[in-house]
């Protein structure tokens, strides 16, 4: 392993630690603004590397860089005083665990802290506190993506022919790097006389303003003759091609194969162009949609990770990864034979994507994730709003302690998932290079 790979790995982890610190800052700032007493602000888990106390809060860094936390006093309300509804002593292992957690929560509350406990804060303040972390990740993702897209630029495919396929090959042959042979038929582009440098301006009489336009018209046309308007050496020319129907990878999702789409046999010229703020929003919206879909399909993707880790199956490019896997990709970027500016843009995009994934993952409405806490706050707001409208007595605080059994189960599941991903990223990682 070269020093560049190690350096890239470490650079990514520094960026990750900064992202975790800002995520927790997103919780810390509103908590302090709303008067909640925060006793700890920690980046990482496990033994403490360094810490320092400022006022009532201890700030520190721990050894395991897989997350962070802030410690707010009084997250769980005391037991209801109605002895007719609750036994005086807890019974059963889960009930005992709940009461132990409740007591531990209340032991941190000192004299004068009665109004500074988290559970007594208005529901909307709880929602803001727990939303602050994911919101910080979304802001970071936006700023990082904007820095790359508006500062470095992105690769844009132009409707100018870069290469012409001389023959028609299957998707499998292309992946294997096969060469044209006597058994291959000529491509429609080669037969029509298309050349590198030709600018496609129309397809079947319809204008082409982008490579996406050309792709859509070619694939949608299917098999059959079509007139192609081009500009060659500054002069307009019309060529006649006979498109064929082929099974080709989907432009938006290369893992999927579209059946019997029109095939011409040209590739576009790619250039790097800086984009506007509107383009940043469109990219971020598309990535949010894709990340949300990936989270929905997480269980089946984890099956693929298991098969890759223990069965030697090929690791999919869109496979879930741990911070170890992302760090390895950072190492590959650092060691790649590409310009420094491209490396910087690659690192920034990697960190931006990871922030987006962290933010969305934390919004899953299950404890112990932020999304579960947000749902608890919203439910409290609904109950209190309903009571206010119906002029009924105000209900008590939502007692998330009752969900602790589910929380522990989820925590165990997240631990197992994390261990699986780390192991898979060590023995069979996702690779961006061959």
Tell me the catalytic residues.
24
Query: 167: how many CB neighbours lie within 10 A of its CB?
Result: 17
Assigned token pair, 199: 């600018």
User: How far lies 400's CA from each of 109, 221, 326, in Å?
Assistant: 18, 57, 34
Pairwise CA distance, residues 4 & 21, whole Å:
26
Pairwise CA distance, residues 261 & 281, whole Å:
31
Is the CB of residue 363 less than 8 Å from the CB of residue 137? no
Q: Inter-axis angle of helices 404-427 and 298-311, to 10 degrees? A: 40
Burial class (CB in 10 A: 0-12, 13-18, 19+), 331: buried
Pairwise CA distance, residues 331 & 10, whole Å:
8
Is the CB of residue 26 less than 8 Å from the CB of residue 135? yes
Using DSSP's 3-state secondary structure scheme, residue 193 falls into: coil
Assigned token pair, 21: 């610190």
Pairwise CA distance, residues 124 & 127, whole Å:
5
Using DSSP's 3-state secondary structure scheme, residue 159 falls into: strand
């Amino acid at each position: 392993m070269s020093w560049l790979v190690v350096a890239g790995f470490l650079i990514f982890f520094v960026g990750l630690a900064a992202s975790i610190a800002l995520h927790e800052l997103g919780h810390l700032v509103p908590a302090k603004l709303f008067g909640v007493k925060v006793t700890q602000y920690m980046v990482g888990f496990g033994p403490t590397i360094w810490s320092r106390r400022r006022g009532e809060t201890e700030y520190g860094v721990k050894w395991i860089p897989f997350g962070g936390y802030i410690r707010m006093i009084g997250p769980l309300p005391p037991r209801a005083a109605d002895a007719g509804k609750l036994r005086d002593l807890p019974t059963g292992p889960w009930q005992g665990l709940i009461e132990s957690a409740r007591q531990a929560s209340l032991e941190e509350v000192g004299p004068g802290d009665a109004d500074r406990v988290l559970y007594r804060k208005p529901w909307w303040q709880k929602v803001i506190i727990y939303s602050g972390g994911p919101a910080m990740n979304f802001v970071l993702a936006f700023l990082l993506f904007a820095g790359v897209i508006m500062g470095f630029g992105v690769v844009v495919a132009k409707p100018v022919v870069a290469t012409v396929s001389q023959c028609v090959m299957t998707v499998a042959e292309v992946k294997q790097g096969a060469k044209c042979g006597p058994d291959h038929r000529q491509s429609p582009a080669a037969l029509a006389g298309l050349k590198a440098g030709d600018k496609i301006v129309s397809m079947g009489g319809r204008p082409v303003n982008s490579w996406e336009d050309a792709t859509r018209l070619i694939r949608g046309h299917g098999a059959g003759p079509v007139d192609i308007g081009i500009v060659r050496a500054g002069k307009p020319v019309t060529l006649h091609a006979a498109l064929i129907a082929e099974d080709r990878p989907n432009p938006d999702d290369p893992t999927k194969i579209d059946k019997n789409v029109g095939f011409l046999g040209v590739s576009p010229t790619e250039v790097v162009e800086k984009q506007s703020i509107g383009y940043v929003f469109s990219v971020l919206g598309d990535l949010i949609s894709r990340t949300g879909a990936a989270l929905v399909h997480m269980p089946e993707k984890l099956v693929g990770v298991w098969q890759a880790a223990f069965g030697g199956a090929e690791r999919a490019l869109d496979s879930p990864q741990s911070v170890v896997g992302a760090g390895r990709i950072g190492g590959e970027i650092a060691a790649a034979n590409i310009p420094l500016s491209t490396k910087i843009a690659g690192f920034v995009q990697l960190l931006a994507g990871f922030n987006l994934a962290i933010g969305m993952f934390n919004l899953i409405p299950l404890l112990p994730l932020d999304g579960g806490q947000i749902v608890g706050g919203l439910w409290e707001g609904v109950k209190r709003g309903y009571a206010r409208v119906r002029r009924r007595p105000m209900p008590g605080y939502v007692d998330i302690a009752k969900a602790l059994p589910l929380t522990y189960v989820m925590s165990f599941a997240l631990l197992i998932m994390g261990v699986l991903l780390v192991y898979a990223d060590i023995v069979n990682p996702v690779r961006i290079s061959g």
